[in-house]
Amino acid sequence: MHFPTTEHRTLDAHAPENPLTRYGWDEGFAADFAPYSARGLVPARVVRVDRGRCEVATADGGGTTTVPASFGAVSTHDPLRRVCTGDWAALDPRPADGAGASVEALLPRRTAFVRSASSKRSDAQVMAANADLAVVAVSLSDDPDTGRLERFLALAWESGAQPLLVLTKSDLVADAHHLVADAAEAAPGVPVFAVSSETGEGLDVLTAALAGSTAVLIGRSGAGKSTLVNALVGEEVQQVQATRDADGKGRHTTTRRELLLLPGGGALIDTPGLRGVGLWEAGAGVEQVFSEIVELAGDCRFHDCGHVAEPGCVVLAAVEEGVLPQRRLDSYRKLLRENARIAARTDARLRAEQRRVWKQRTALGREIQERKRGGSPRRER
Ligand SMILES: Nc1nc2c(ncn2[C@@H]2O[C@H](COP(=O)(O)OP(=O)(O)OP(=O)(O)O)[C@@H](O)[C@H]2O)c(=O)[nH]1
Ligand SMILES: [Zn+2]
């Protein structure tokens, strides 16, 4: 049978698929969105944030729209509440005042990949929202740095997404098998893939693992992330992207921290190479990375055992018996300490913020008192 393409569409018995399904829209998000639908708002996925503007994909038309990244009545200084790539936004497509479309609210994030913005400051930075998978890319050609891998995995777990470990550049090593085994030891509960973007080895398996999910790709600079993204996205999608540009020029470079659709299904959020990653309140993530130690620790005599020299310490016994590598225990302690330091810094920041709010309130209180006494307020608020 042969149908002309247009007729084929109208004859199709199935309801047309919501274009946002490709972007990860599902029943759960639809349920969260119901109150916004009632207000005439439409769902949109943030595919890119850049200098106060964000690019969003909506259900109508094949393209994306650029709207201001700020939202809500109150502008917030809390970085965790800023629009970020992967967010689901409630968009007002046609505000009454005739202004352009705007973001009115964000759906609650299922997951958030957060790191501290710099090692010196206690700022959090959300790199990606609503990723189902957190793909940690590590090059097989680099000297293995298990400590760094464990740190990346702690962040990945902490995001709430399921971590995957992708060992890149497999074409550069003769025997990847033992390297894969070493990495797997540091990554309990994490599926491990060895791939080469050069030869294509392992890409089909990875493509299948990513299908139907939103994944965020993280890893240090030079790990081969861009090359992997290009290999996974392929020529075809780049062209689709190019033709949908309004000016018809198209983009030929991959913009970092952009949500890209994969031809095999699913979406991928690329992030810029992280020279180092600071943990951000990653206590739960650290416990996940060292789940075998946490499990052992449940049998230590003291429930607050530090696994240093305590009697009846099952963790130390496991090291003694050669079941648990000493390196793993050292690494665990190191990341716990680092996380505690960051938590303390965050507390200090919160205290400072509370002081500021308290000062404002006192000033406001004074103003009200003065007004009651008939004095004029000292400043407009
Ligand atoms: N042989 C080989 N080289 C690769 C492979 N993947 C990436 N490379 C090379 O590794 C280098 C770094 O790759 P990129 O893709 O730029 O790494 P990146 O992780 O995106 O780095 P940043 O952009 O700094 O975050 C480049 O010279 C790539 O050509 C691979 O599978 N095999
Ligand atoms: Zn112990």
Ligand 2 centroid to Cα of residue 326, in Å, is: 13
Query: What is the predicted ipTM?
Result: 0.97
In sequence order, what DSSP letters do the residues of 82-137 get, joined into one string? Answer: S--TT-EEEEESS-TTSPPPEEEEEPPPS-EEEEES-SSS--EEEEEES-SEEEEE
Tell me 292's DSSP state: H
Domain residue spans of the chain: 5-106, 112-270, 283-363
User: Whole-prediction pTM value?
Assistant: 0.75
pLDDT of amino acid 352: 64
pLDDT of amino acid 8: 41
Distance CA 380, CA 378 (A): 7
Q: Does domain 5-106 have CATH number 2.40.50.140?
A: yes
What is the CB-side half-sphere exposure of residue 22 using CA atoms within 13 A?
16
Ligand 1 centroid to Cα of residue 222, in Å, is: 5
Residue 208 makes CB contacts below 8 A (sequence gap 6+) with: 264
pLDDT of amino acid 353: 61
Same fold, 112-270 and 283-363: no
Ligand 1 centroid to Cα of residue 372, in Å, is: 68
Fold annotation for 112-270: Rossmann fold (3.40.50)
Chain length of the chain: 381
pLDDT in tens, the chain (381 residues): 343 444 344 444 555 678 899 999 999 999 999 999 999 999 999 999 887 888 999 998 667 888 888 776 555 566 666 889 999 999 988 766 667 888 889 999 999 888 766 545 556 678 899 999 999 999 999 887 888 899 889 888 888 999 999 999 999 998 888 889 888 888 889 999 999 999 999 999 999 999 999 999 998 888 888 889 999 998 534 333 333 344 434 343 444 578 999 998 999 998 776 655 556 667 778 888 899 999 999 999 998 888 988 999 999 999 999 999 999 999 998 888 887 776 666 666 666 665 665 566 556 556 656 666 665 444 443
CA distances for 23 relative to 44, 84, 219, angstroms? 9, 15, 23
Ligand 1 within 6 A of CB of 229 = no
CATH for the 283-363 domain, from 2.160.10.10, 1.10.40.50, 3.30.420.40, 1.10.3720.10: 1.10.40.50
Ligand 1 within 6 A of CB of 196 = yes
- Ligand 1 pocket test, candidate residues 168, 227, 254, 274, most atoms within 8 A of CB: 227
pLDDT of amino acid 37: 94
Q: Which of 155, 21, 45 is nearest to 107 (CA)?
A: 45
Ligand 1 within 6 A of CB of 172 = yes
Distance CA 309, CA 104 (A): 55
